[in-house]
Every structure is written in C-alpha cells, then in structure tokens.
Amino acid sequence: MSQEQRNGTEPRSYAVVWRERRGPVLAGKLELCAESVRLEGATRSGRAAAMEIPYASISEVRIGRAPEERIDGRPSVVLECAGNGAVTLAGATGVGIVHELADRLTGLAPASTR
C-alpha cells in the first residue's frame, strides 16, 4: 500500500503516454502539481522530453474518442491549451485512468469545460 493510500488521498502521479498536437508519442509520468500538470518522459527512440502546462492555460478538458484524438487506438484525455494547441494523454497501462484523469484535470483547471 502506498503512502497516499494509507493517508486516504488520491495519487498525484500517473504512468501515461502523450502527444503534443501531431508530434511523436512520448511515454512517462504525469504529475499533478500545485499550479500545473508536469509531464516527463521520452520518445520511443529514447529522446528525453518534459513539459509543464499551467492549469490556468487549460481552456478545455475532454475525452477524445475520434480516431485522430486517440493514442495507439485508445481513448484519451484531450487538453486544449490557450496558445499552444492540444495535448493528448492516455494511460500507459490501459484505458482505466482516462476518466479519472479527465475528472481530476477538470477540477484543477479553472477555465476548463467538459
């Protein structure tokens, strides 16, 4: 049992894959920080990558079901970010966390709609 589970709090990090706009798929970790979402990982070829998305810049959070919104055919969470376009996220181990992430991110992004 993790420390978070013992304390009765929800996890603040997730194993995910993500893509910026139409860029390459990256795999790594999503962290829900105090003011932003932090993504750290690498491309399939091993190139390291990281990005931070302030909650205040997220204009929309939605479940992406259209073929172009999926990652490796799986449903995903689409974050529309003011000035930066969309970031698409999916669970690294399956679709189980998509709705949980969408709910948590909707609650953290003050300007978001779902």
Write down all domains in the chain, each with its CATH number in brackets.
12-108 (2.30.29.30)
pLDDT single digits (tens) 32-69: 999 999 999 998 899 999 999 999 999 999 999 899 89
Integer CA distances (angstroms), 55 to 49, 63, 84, 99, in order: 20, 17, 13, 18
pLDDT tens sequence across 64-90: 989 989 998 888 999 999 877 899 999
> pTM value?
0.82
At 106, give phi and psi (nearest 5°).
Answer: -60, -40
